[in-house]
Each structure stands twice: as C-alpha cells, then as structure tokens.
C-alpha cells in the first residue's frame, strides 16, 4: 500500500501531474484511487469526467473522487461542534459566528485526509494518489495531527471522567449545557482517526510527498521551504517534478531569454533537491486534459518506470534537540571529513562535499541561532546550533 501526496505552489500543475501519475499507476496494474482534497476540485476537468464524493471509475483499475470536505466535517465533527456551540451560546456567542470559531483553519483538509485514511485501510487499493491543495494548506494540514493529538490527549480523558460524575449534579444546579457521553464518544473517534492518519502519513514505507515545481524563482523558493518543513515534520519526499520546461525544439529567438532564465533555475533545483530524483516535464503545446494527453504526459514523465514503486520516500535531514542545542543531521554518504565545508548565508545553510554543494533553507526556529560546530560521523553531518536568544 502506498500513498503519494502531490503538492506544490498554486497553478504549477499538481492536479495534472497527480492525474497522470494515478493513470500510469493503474496501467502498471496497481488498484489505484486518486483523491482530491483541494476544495477547488479541478480533478474532474483533468479527466474530463464527472467525479463526486464517492469513488467512481475513470479508467480501468483507476477510481477517482473529489472529497467533499464539508460533509466529512459534519460527519466527524458534527456532535462535538454542536456541543461546543451550545456551550458558547450559553456564553453569548451565537449562530454563524460560533460556527466559524469551531472550524479552525485546515480542519476541512484534515477531515479530507481521514477519508484517505479510511480508503487506505480498506484493503481495496494498492495506491492512493492525493491531489492536495496548494502548499501552504497542505503543510498546515500535515502538522495538524500533531496539534490535535496534543489537545485531545490532555482534554479528553479527564473531561469525560469529570463529566460522568458531575452531570447529574450540574444539570440540577445550572443551565450550562453538559456534554452527553456521545460527544465524548465522537471526540474519541476523531482522536483515533487522527492518530491513524498520523501513523499512516508518518510511515515512509507508505506515504511520501511528490513536489511539483516550475523553473521560476518564486515557485522554487516556496518548494524549498516546503521541503524543509516536510523534513522537519518527518515526512518523506520521493521526487520533484519540474514541470513546464521549455523544450529544445522551440527555436524562436523570442524564447532565448526565457531559456537562459530557466537554465539558471534548473541548476538551483538540482542543488536544492540533490537527494531526490528530479523529473523534467516539458511545456506541452496543448492543455493536458483527457486520458490520452494524461497518458502522454505520464509516459514522458516516467517512461517504463513504475510511477509509485519506482520511487522511495526519503527524509534527507533530521532536526533533534537536546540540552538546549538544536542539531541538524544531514546524510552525506561517501564524504570524508576533510572534504566537507559548512557555511551559512542568511536563512540558508550551504554544505559542500568535495566538488558538490547543497543548500538548505533553514526552518524559522534555526534562523536566530548560530552554527556552533559541524561534525561528520559515519556519513552523517551533524551541525549543532547554539541556544539562540543571543
């Protein structure tokens, strides 16, 4: 069972690449599902097919669905929301306003992921390709399970115990709405599902992100930050699709300048994503919709390689913390001690190994800290940062 989350900045070609990837996976004999968690839902347009909340067949061996986040949210969160609403109503906050309070940003996407989790565990599919919302939302969504579990682990068990004992007394003396047991059952079930999603997405043998970029500065900058944060949350990346590269046969001098610009950006992409496969995809002379064009795109992208089995999730670095020190660990296989050079410029960390150079966008938490030391042990470079606040 594999899950591939296709993500990237708005408009780079996520939906199209996800659709082509899913189609190729099905043609490699995998029972495949493609799910869109993006409320914009252009998946149906890519396939030129009608898609709804329930999976429907779009090609042999390929099912597609556009998850209706709102109905997922009602299903899982409804009872809890009603309870919280009645508590808030008691405090004077009502109607739409209260409802808005109770749906925090990213929550609908999280519930869309619960649906992916359900299909992943059903045993009905070998591969699930997820067409995600643009990067920022996806990132928030991937960090959400952490946030939610923290919340649930603390609140749930005690509240329920107290409420069981106190409900008979409370209802006699106050008009504060007291949660019924079923609210806790609902909350427990959301908690369990979130734990389940976390386990699934956090397992690099199962889940990986595939980043789609264009050879353009702003797109690359955002993808590099995404890459850093995915690493920080422990999610693996299995490939970078470089989409809309000007093909060689375009000889019109009008595009000469563009070609030179793209060349520079392609170089940046190679340095920044050196540890994962980079797949280039040309700018086609057509809009890439419908099965035939998606199939053409997939064959140029993957050739005969299995679009899922042929790619492995990798988390090229790790950030650990101990005794006030933050340590960034980067795998640099085959490097000798005297060849490694580390320096920092602004928010970027450069690591040179012999003739190769790699650069990382540092997470916010490390930008305010100074590099104290860098040591190479068994192919792992450990860069330690001071306690900050200096």
Ligand X SMILES: Nc1ncnc2c1ncn2[C@@H]1O[C@H](COP(=O)(O)OP(=O)(O)OP(=O)(O)O)[C@@H](O)[C@H]1O
Number of Cβ atoms within 10 Å of the Cβ of 241: 25
Q: How far is the CB of 128 from Mg ion (least distance, A)?
A: 17
- Reading the block at residue 243, the tokens are 């989409």
Supply the minimum distance, in Å, between the C-beta of residue 354 and ligand X. Answer: 35
- Residue indicated by tokens 């002379």: 285
| Length of the chain counted residue by residue | 390
- Give least dist CB 10 to ligand X, A: 4
* DSSP label at residue 133: P
Residue whose C-alpha is closest to residue 212's, from 286, 288, 147, 120: 288
Q: If binding is defined by CB under 6 A, does position 210 make contact with ligand X?
A: no
Strand, coil or helix: 56: strand
Residue 129 Cβ, how far from Mg ion at the closest point, in Å?
13
Report if residue 135 touches ligand X, rule: CB under 6 A: no
- Output 295 or 318, the one with its CB closest to ligand X: 295
- Contact residue for ligand X among 14, 28, 224, 225 (CB under 6 A): 14
* Residue closer to Mg ion, measured from CB, 34 or 308: 34
Question: Which residues are near Mg ion by CB under 5 A?
Answer: 14-15, 42
User: Residue 281: which of Mg ion, ligand X, none does it interact with, CB under 5 to 8 A by kind?
Assistant: ligand X
Q: Which of 1, 27, 31, 42 binds ligand X (CB under 6 A)?
A: 42
Binds 83: which of Mg ion, ligand X, none (CB < 5-8 Å by kind): none
Residues 273-292 that bind ligand X (CB under 6 A): 281, 283-284, 287-289
How far apart (Å, rounded) are the C-alpha atoms in residues 384 and 51?
50
Cα separation, 190 vs 390, in Å, equals 42
Residues contacting residue 296 through CB under 8 Å, at least 6 positions apart: 284, 288
Nearer to ligand X, 8 or 316 (CB): 8
Residues contacting ligand X: total by CB under 6 A = 19
Nearest-angstrom CA–CA distance, 203 and 123: 17
* Residue the block writes with tokens 């960390």: 349
Binding site for ligand X (CB under 6 A): 10-16, 38, 40, 42, 134, 243-244, 281, 283-284, 287-289
């Amino acid at each position: 069972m594999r899950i591939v989350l296709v993500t990237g900045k708005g408009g780079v070609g996520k939906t199209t690449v996800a659709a082509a990837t899913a189609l190729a996976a099905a043609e490699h004999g995998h029972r495949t599902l493609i799910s869109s968690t993006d409320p914009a839902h252009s998946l149906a347009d890519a396939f030129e097919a009608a898609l709804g909340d329930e999976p429907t067949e779009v090609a042999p061996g390929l099912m597609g669905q556009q998850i209706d986040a709102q109905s997922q949210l009602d299903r899982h969160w409804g009872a809890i929301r009603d309870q919280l609403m009645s508590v808030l109503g008691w405090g004077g906050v009502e109607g739409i306003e209260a409802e808005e309070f109770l749906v925090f940003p990213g929550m609908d996407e999280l519930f869309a992921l619960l649906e992916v989790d359900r299909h992943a565990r059903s045993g009905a599919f070998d591969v699930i390709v997820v067409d995600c919302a643009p990067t920022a939302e996806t990132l928030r969504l991937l960090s959400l399970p952490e946030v939610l579990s923290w919340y649930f682990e603390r609140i749930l068990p005690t509240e329920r115990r107290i409420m069981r004992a106190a409900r008979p007394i409370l209802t006699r003396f106050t008009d504060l709405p007291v949660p019924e047991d079923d609210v806790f059952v609902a909350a427990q079930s959301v908690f369990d599902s979130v734990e389940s999603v976390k386990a699934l997405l956090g397992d690099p043998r199962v889940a990986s992100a595939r980043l789609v970029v264009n050879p353009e500065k702003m797109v690359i900058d955002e993808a590099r930050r995404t890459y850093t944060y995915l690493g920080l949350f422990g999610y693996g990346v299995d490939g970078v699709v470089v989409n809309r590269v000007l093909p060689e046969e375009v000889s019109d001098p009008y595009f000469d300048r563009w070609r030179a610009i793209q060349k520079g950006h392609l170089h940046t992409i190679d340095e920044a994503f050196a540890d994962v496969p980079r797949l280039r995809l040309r700018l086609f002379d057509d809009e890439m919709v419908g099965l035939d064009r998606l199939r053409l795109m997939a064959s140029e992208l993957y050739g005969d390689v299995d679009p899922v089995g042929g790619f492995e999730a990798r988390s090229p670095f790790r950030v650990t913390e101990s005794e006030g020190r933050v340590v960034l660990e980067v795998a640099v296989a085959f490097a000798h001690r005297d060849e490694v050079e580390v320096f920092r410029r602004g928010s970027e960390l450069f690591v040179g190994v012999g003739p190769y150079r790699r650069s990382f966008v540092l997470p916010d938490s490390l930008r305010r800290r100074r590099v104290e030391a860098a040591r190479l042990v068994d192919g792992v470079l450990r860069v330690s940062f001071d306690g900050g606040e200096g």
